[in-house]
A and B are shown apart, each in its own frame.
Chain A
């Protein structure tokens, strides 16, 4: 088993909590893992990405080789396209369609969606709306994680346990909200597949 995942977003959007959930689940499943993060200057509202590599045998490089990522998981639609050269021809894009506009020349949303829909395998969803229905827009991350879950090659229960672990310190309500968001995201993808 091998899953090479690019996590994409804008500094401050919290892609690292998605990474933490997948990483914790992988470790609990006894899988090998390497995760390269971006810290420092780009965290100030710039484009950020993280390379997350999970495998049943030891992982060599911290960086995913170009053209071989299995998944791009993005919390921002334009950012999902920035890493296309990393994605394998059989890889999937899972992205929210909620733009984070902090540059003056942000492209037309319709054109961005057209580009995403040109790719072979993709799941697009309005994560903000789904999260809002679950109780809070703050859980949009977990909606995206849920949407990616059927493609991660791990048992859904393993990821659920990880979500519980990661948010346990924030109280029961937060855990429940995030689990609800996770399930909503997951069923969105299951319906499409």
Chain B
């Protein structure tokens, strides 16, 4: 079959379409966004009537996928690593209910924090939930593992996690497809109490999950994704997880590593496999992109066995993503060096686009806050977080989705009055609504800016669940009309906008200001589309 040139994310999406998936649910988040985008743009997915929906957040996405699995069909849910924190309640409990139709949870980690606030390792969540985890080493394996993962999920009646990292998600290569499978028929669970986690049932289900662990280990021993390649020099044995295997191979142009190498792509790992390497080698080197999870398990708290090298003993850096040079250095290999970066090269950090409405909104806020002084603006996750940088330097926090409103409440309770929250429209419906309800119920003296660019901007302009609903939501939560203001963040309205915010800052209760102007990127795209349509009309 012809190979397709696909990003890792796209390979996962194509595989899910081919493996008979009936629905995919997600909230956008780098580096996972392109999985859903690919399905939404796919004509095949359309022909097969595959549901492909941006959910309000990762928790609602996870639950929707679980519902589809309950009904016997194959479902996928995708998120970035920190999205799994939001989905965690549903995720952990889905391991107790188990699955009916195949359920694949894709978590995309971001070691080195290219576009994230931390570099947490989702494999820990997989271990926490005690479910199988797949970690592809390249895009082809990602494609193959989706097929395998759906099958494993149905065979073992358990959700299966696929953990990927930025480098796999956003790297492109040729991928060969498998034959397409039909979708499952609607089929209820054979036990209609399987998904009722009343304590009496949950205890039974949990014990079942515990007894499944051995089968999970056996599966990872038999799948071929964990592979031991023996070699003569047993002074060292190497365990390489996921992409780390490629960085190892890069150091040996003939792909011939002189030491035994255990490539890991599936967890929980069969202990017998680790044991055979451990017993036959003098010491081990563990290569993991992310946290040292296997390393910690193998060396143990007491670290009194054979020498285990990796991120914990300094053989590899404790944080950040791996690369061929870092892995080579751990093996004592030297590498070529280029010239240094000349001193005159300046940093070029990301910034708000020219013509972005957020820029005008923050210029107004900065000026309205002059009389109160700095240090009272709690913000959130999105393009507008860039207002932290020069020249705006408007905000003082960015922690997790929705934390702006709730942190402002706490700070106001402590006496920081007025406190300001700045949150985007999509982030507001993701996790801000409940916080605003708290604020309204307690009449917190905070001013909330819901920066409405009518899209999920930072991830490239996906549909925002908040679209056309922001004022209605605020009203519905009980906010009085006189403290809801929609303003147009344009230079020509600068003075009047300052006045509106100033007035609400002085008000001793909750106000919501909605600076509304469409994202310059999505607007530009629409205009270009329109011009193209017009051109077509003329030529026809």
**Also in contact, A36 and B170, with CB within 8 A (given A10-B348, A24-B5, A87-B339):** yes
Q: Kindly provide the distance from the CB of B536 to the nearest chain A CB, expressed in whole angstroms.
A: 10
Q: B339-353 CB contact bits vs A (8 Å, 1 = yes)?
A: 111101111111111
Binds B, one of A104-112, A124-132, A134-142, A148-156: A104-112
Q: Which of B229-237, B247-255, B362-370 contacts A (4 or more CB under 8 A)?
A: B247-255
Binds A, one of B45-53, B55-63, B191-199, B321-329: B321-329
> Within the assembled complex, what's the spacing in Å between the Cα atoms of A119 and B458?
37
User: Which stretch of B145-153, B171-179, B410-418, B464-472 is in the interface?
Assistant: B171-179
- Alpha-carbon distance A86/B324, docked complex (angstroms): 12
Give the A-B contact count at a CB cut-off of 8 A: 158
A27-B174, A60-B246, A107-B346 known; A41-B30 Cβ under 8 A? yes
- A60 contacts B249, CB within 8 Å? yes
| A residues in contact with B458, CB < 8 Å | 40-41, 44
- Closest CB-CB distance, A146 to chain B, in whole Å? 22
Asked whether any CB of chain B lies closer than 8 Å to the CB of A168, the reply is no
A44 vs B114: C-alpha distance when bound (angstroms): 13
- Which A43-71 residues have a C-beta within 8 angstroms of B? 43-47, 59-63, 65-69
Minimum CB–CB distance for A72 against chain B, Å: 10
Q: Is the CB of B336 within 8 A of A42?
A: no
Shortest Cβ distance from A120 into chain B, in angstroms? Answer: 9
B351: nearest chain-A partner, CB-CB: A45
A85 touches B340 (CB 8 A): yes
Beta-carbon contact of B115 and A36 below 8 Å: no
The distance in angstroms between the C-alpha atoms of A112 and B346, with both chains bound, is: 11
B249 close to A38 (CB less than 8 A): no
- Chain A's nearest CB lies how many Å from the CB of B525? 13
Chain A nearest CB: distance from B119 CB in Å?
14
Q: Are A37 and B345 in contact (CB under 8 A)?
A: no
Once the chains bind, are A63 and B167 in contact (CB under 8 Å)?
A: yes
- Known contacts being A44-B351, A65-B335, is A81 close to B255, with CB within 8 Å? no
Which residue in chain A gives the minimum CB-CB distance to B9? A39
User: Contact at B345–A34, with CB atoms within 8 Å?
Assistant: no
A133 CB-CB contact with B under 8 Å: no
Query: B246 to A78, Cβ gap below 8 A?
Result: no
Most buried by B among A36, A62, A102, A112: A62
The reply to whether A85 and B352 form a contact with Cβ atoms under 8 Å apart is no
Contact residues in B for A34 (Cβ distance below 8 Å) = 171-173
Are B325 and A65 in contact (CB-based, < 8 A)?
yes
Q: Which of A40, A43, A67, A105 contacts B31 (CB 8 A)?
A: A40
| A-side contacts of B170, CB under 8 Å | 36-39
B34 at the interface (CB under 8 A from A): yes
Contact of B348 (CB < 8 Å), options: A61, A65, A102:
A102
Which residues of B from 264 to 315 have beta carbons under 8 Å from A?
none
**B31 touching A39 by the CB < 8 A rule?**
yes
By secondary structure, the B interface counts as loop
B interface residues, how many (CB within 8 angstroms): 49
A79 to B: closest C-beta gap in Å:
8
Q: B341 near A82 (CB under 8 angstroms)?
A: yes
Q: Check if A62 sits within 8 Å of B114, measured CB to CB.
A: no
Give Cα distance in the complex from A67 to B338, angstroms: 4
B339 contacts which chain A residues (CB < 8 A)? Answer: 84-85, 87, 119
Q: Are A62 and B246 in contact (CB under 8 A)?
A: yes
B12 interface hit (Cβ, 8 Å): no
In the bound complex, CA of A60 to CA of B251 (Å): 9
Contact A41–B114 (Cβ < 8 Å) = yes
Q: Does B513 contact A (CB under 8 A)?
A: no
Q: Contacting B255 at CB < 8 Å: which of A23, A60, A62?
A: A60
Question: Interface centre among A34, A44, A59, A106, by most B CB within 10 Å?
Answer: A44
From residue B131, how far is it (CB to closest CB) to chain A in Å? 27
Cβ–Cβ contact A81 & B348, under 8 A: no
A66-B346 in contact (CB<8A): no
Complex: how many Å from CA A107 to CA B344? 6
Q: Give the contacting residue for A89; candidates B338, B340, B352; CB below 8 A.
A: B338
B337 near A: Cβ within 8 Å?
Answer: yes
B96: CB under 8 A from chain A? Answer: no
Cβ A66 vs Cβ B345 within 8 A? no
Give me 18 other A-B pairs in contact (C-beta within 8 A), A67-B337, A119-B339 excluded: A33-B174, A34-B173, A37-B172, A38-B170, A41-B458, A42-B114, A45-B350, A61-B249, A62-B246, A63-B167, A66-B325, A81-B341, A81-B342, A82-B341, A84-B342, A85-B340, A88-B336, A91-B338
Q: Which 4 A-B pairs have the closest CB atoms?
A: A40-B115, A67-B336, A40-B30, A46-B350
Can you show 5 pairs from A to B with CB atoms below 8 A apart? A60-B250, A66-B338, A82-B341, A107-B346, A115-B342
B residues with CB within 8 A of A = 3, 5, 7, 30-31, 33-34, 114-115, 167-168, 170-174, 243, 246-247, 249-250, 255, 323-325, 328, 335-342, 344-353, 383, 386, 458-460
